[in-house]
Amino acid sequence: MSFPLLTATAVLPALGAVATAAVPAARRTAAKWLALLVSLGTLALAVVVLVRFEPGGDRYQLTESHSWIKEFGVRYELGVDGIAVALIALTALLIPFIVLAGWHDADPAPGSGLPAQKEGAKETGPYHWRPTQGFFALILAVEAMVIISFEATDVFLFYIFFEAMLIPMYFLIGGFGDRAHAHGEQVASTQRSYAAVKFLLYNLVGGLIMLAAVIGLYVVAGNFSLQEIAQARADGSLHMATSTERWLFLGFFFAFAVKAPLWPLHTWLPNAMGEATTPVAVLITAVVDKVGTFAMLRFCLQLFPEASKWATPVILVLSLISIVYGALLAVGQRDIKRLVAYASISHFGFIIMGIFAMTSQGQSGATLYMVNHGISTAALMLVAGFLISRRGSRLIADYGGVQKVAPLLAGTFLIGGLATLSLPGLAPFVSEFLVLVGTFERYPVIGIVATFGIVLAALYTLVLYQRTMTGPVKPEVSAMPDLRPRELAVVAPLVVLLIFLGVYPKPVTDIVNPAVRSTLSDVHKKDPQPEVEAAK
């Protein structure tokens, strides 16, 4: 097609970020509406991508390819398969809700550390502080970089945006932290800075190791095109020594495991999610972290099939540790946001386990899990954020009896929690079931032990709900208002999606299954055959 649809889907939020940042300092409301409209426009383009994509057609569709750095074989090369299309749609869907949920999070307020400025006031002084404009501009910038990361089929192009998204995320975590703390503002600011630096350092180290692997890949293959390298590997015209392939695989996988995050490289996530504003916490775990698991499917398995099979046993063990360890720490948490963060570590363990189970059910379930985890975590975390903003505390012990004074808030919180524990009838159940079935087919012991993560998920979710929503009404929450129209507009569509995809996941599985089959063929794997006697 002549119109560069994939480029437009990434460029629109990038241009929107620039325009939002340029809005005059005193026009905060205009900046918010501009960011919301840009995010809705990006969603419309993502829907067009979804409609134009043909499941079962060419592996990479809507492709674009232009010479960029000719001397080094770097091209501006884009294309989407079913997995990328599903994740682009997820990203574009969640950003408008993130913008709405954070509508007042960057407004100057007493105790926020931001200069107070009356809406519409004349700009004065040599510096025009734009906290609101900057907040929403950074969110749009992250959206643009995540989308083009899902679209890139040139390894170097992917690497640039894989690393570049760390910059706006660093400022979102460190510059716009959560205002609800149990300690003083100075302590909170210190923790926020620590969380931002830790996030940046962990991911930078992973990125630098990946850069060495990217350079090594160019030395071996002579170019950065994913499709050309994968085709050359398949037809035998490109041969990698076993040791070389394994080292390159480890370089890529390490960076993706940090981003995912996989135990023991996960420790940055609870700090980042705990100290960030609630919408930014959703952006981290529901959007940005998906780039890591997506890249394992697109790059690790396609570029290094033999090394992927070689590393599978160790990766499955690490995934299993993530599942159980994350769930156990979630059970013991006193902080609502950190509980959700540790639950996400457990869920990412399921996703990575499904990817490296090397079965069609496992990888389909893992891809579906990425989508469903994004929706369910967004629903739970955003409702938790609305709860926290009312009470001014993240501590579970500071709540009690909320369902009697805010039944709508409590009800949506319960649905988000039940989705987190993968209750049948809600979207995550289907994906978690497929992951476990796919893993059990090839690695039954791993699959059996992983089911303990489900039991622990039920424990931490139901205990959280019991301690915050049931029991006697605490005086501090007795006057708590229920969900407001803007908040309901954020949560209600996510709840509807959780129910719809829980009952009818076929629209997503139809898109991702052909891409999963292609990925399995890359690593020369077939589903195990059932061990049953033939009918006589």
323 confidence band (pLDDT: 50, 70, 90)? very high
> Is the per-residue pLDDT at 446 higher than 80?
yes
Overall average pLDDT of the 34-59 stretch:
91
Vertex 192 angle, CA 191 and 197, to 5°: 100
Overall average pLDDT of the 449-464 stretch:
89
Q: How far apart are CA 171 and CA 175, in angstroms?
A: 5
For all residues of the chain together, what is the average pLDDT? 85
Structure tokens at 178: 């959560």
Overall average pLDDT of the 434-442 stretch:
90
Q: How far apart are CA 343 and CA 503, in angstroms?
A: 23
Structure tokens at 244: 């070389």
Under DSSP, is residue 263 helix (H, G, I), strand (E, B) or coil? coil
Residue pair 183/192 in contact by the 8 Å Cβ criterion? no
Residue pair 412/495 in contact by the 8 Å Cβ criterion? yes
Place of tokens 């709860």: 387
Can you give the pLDDT at residue 175? 80
Can you give the pLDDT at residue 345? 92
Can you give the pLDDT at residue 493? 93
DSSP letters for 112-136? TTS----TTPPP-SS----HHHHHH
Q: How far apart are CA 26 and CA 124, in angstroms?
A: 10
Residue pair 337/388 in contact by the 8 Å Cβ criterion? yes
Distances (CA, A) of 253 to 246, 315, 340, 385, 522: 10, 10, 25, 33, 17
Structure tokens at 511: 């898109």
Place of tokens 């420790």: 267
Can you give the pLDDT at residue 128? 45
| DSSP letter, residue 177 | B
Q: How far apart are CA 222 and CA 225, in angstroms?
A: 9
Can you give the pLDDT at residue 190? 63
Can you give the pLDDT at residue 353? 93
Q: How far apart are CA 437 and CA 441, in angstroms?
A: 6
Percent of the chain with pLDDT over 90: 40
Can you give the pLDDT at residue 531? 63
Segment holding 78, helix H or strand E = strand 74-80
Residue pair 263/329 in contact by the 8 Å Cβ criterion? no
Q: Over the stretch 203-227, which tens digit does the pLDDT of each residue have?
A: 999 999 999 999 998 888 888 888 8
Amino acid at residue number 467: R
121 confidence band (pLDDT: 50, 70, 90)? very low
189 confidence band (pLDDT: 50, 70, 90)? low
> Is the per-residue pLDDT at 16 higher than 60?
yes
> Is the per-residue pLDDT at 113 higher than 70?
no
Pick the closest to residue 179 from 276, 322, 67, 252 (CA basis): 276
Q: Over the stretch 165-180, which tens digit does the pLDDT of each residue have?
A: 999 999 888 887 665 5
Amino acid at residue number 228: E
Under DSSP, is residue 66 helix (H, G, I), strand (E, B) or coil? strand
Overall average pLDDT of the 294-316 stretch:
90
Q: Over the stretch 343-395, which tens digit does the pLDDT of each residue have?
A: 999 999 999 999 998 888 888 999 999 999 999 999 999 999 888 888 888 88
Structure tokens at 466: 């019991």
246 confidence band (pLDDT: 50, 70, 90)? very high
> Is the per-residue pLDDT at 125 higher than 60?
no
Q: How far apart are CA 503 and CA 505, in angstroms?
A: 6
The alpha carbons of the chain give a radius of gyration, in whole angstroms, of 23
Under DSSP, is residue 399 helix (H, G, I), strand (E, B) or coil? coil
The packing angle between helices 427-442 and 360-391, to 10°, is 140
> Is the per-residue pLDDT at 305 higher than 90?
no
> Is the per-residue pLDDT at 124 higher than 50?
no
Q: How far apart are CA 36 and CA 402, in angstroms?
A: 31
Overall average pLDDT of the 486-491 stretch:
90
Segment of 63-77, 217-231, 449-463 carrying the highest mean pLDDT? 449-463
Under DSSP, is residue 72 helix (H, G, I), strand (E, B) or coil? helix
Overall average pLDDT of the 178-183 stretch:
52
Structure tokens at 307: 């090394």
Pick the closest to residue 433 from 345, 507, 362, 515 (CA basis): 362
DSSP alpha helix (H) spans, 301-443? 301-303, 305-331, 336-356, 360-391, 402-405, 407-420, 427-442
What ranges do the domains of the chain cover? 309-528
DSSP letters for 364-383? HHHHHHHHHHHHHHHHHHHH
Q: Is 388 left (phi over 0), alpha (psi -120 to 50) or beta?
A: alpha
Under DSSP, is residue 482 helix (H, G, I), strand (E, B) or coil? coil
pTM of the model: 0.89
Vertex 148 angle, CA 143 and 150, to 5°: 100
Q: How far apart are CA 424 and CA 36, in angstroms?
A: 34
| Residues whose CB is less than 8 angstroms from the CB of residue 506 and which lie 6 or more positions away in sequence, other chains included | none
| Residues whose CB is less than 8 angstroms from the CB of residue 217 and which lie 6 or more positions away in sequence, other chains included | 155, 224, 229, 248, 303
> Is the per-residue pLDDT at 500 higher than 90?
yes
300 DSSP β-pair partners = none
Overall average pLDDT of the 243-262 stretch:
91
